[in-house]
Amino acid sequence: GGVEVAIVKPTANFTISSETVFNNLPIQFQNLTVNGNTYVWDFGDNNGSTDVHPSNIYTEPGFYDVTLIAYDEKGCTDTIMRPIEIEEEWYIYVPNAFTPDGDRFNNDFRISTVGIQTLNIAIYNRWGETVFTASELDFIWDGTYTGLYVPDGVYTYKIEFLTNSERRKTIAGHVNVLK
């Protein structure tokens, strides 16, 4: 009787290194293939690679079908295709403190945004009372509530916003009021 040889074909698999992937920023692909030897990637945007763990920059937001073909030494192949969504780049910068004391510096609370269409912000004191709300990107909070400066301390903010590519998101955090 002949010797039976078990052929273990490659199992192609990959993942992306971050949860949110933006256009114009490099995206790292993690190759999770088992029993592979060489690889051919198609990123779905007319770019490709033969690296084990390649990266790619998508210039346009949208959905892309990423294909990985894995080969073993004997030329057996396995293919996986996975759609990924590239978001239009956005960020919100929120300062963590301000000093509403009437001097010329850092007197009010405002944020900077990129790639944001609309937002709603609410700021709460430590008892959960709303001390400020706004729905303009260029809002300014002067640190007052009902005409009086709020006490020093930590306030919680919640910002709900819509990105330029129509994604609804929420971020929350804290800001220190210091006088």
Cβ neighbours of 6 (radius 10 Å) = 4
- Collapsed DSSP state (helix, strand, coil) of residue 119: strand
Q: What is the pLDDT of residue 165?
A: 82
84 exposure class (CB count in 10 Å sphere: 0-12, 13-18, 19+): middle
Q: What is the pLDDT of residue 167?
A: 87
Q: What is the pLDDT of residue 1?
A: 64
pLDDT tens over the chain, length 179 residues = 667 766 788 999 999 987 778 998 899 999 999 999 999 999 999 999 999 999 999 999 999 999 999 999 999 999 999 999 998 989 999 999 999 987 878 899 999 999 999 999 999 999 999 999 999 999 999 999 999 999 999 999 999 999 988 889 999 999 999 98
The torsion angles phi and psi of 146, rounded to 5 degrees, stand at: 50, 40
- For residues 93 and 143, give the distance between their C-alpha atoms in angstroms, rounded to a whole number: 18
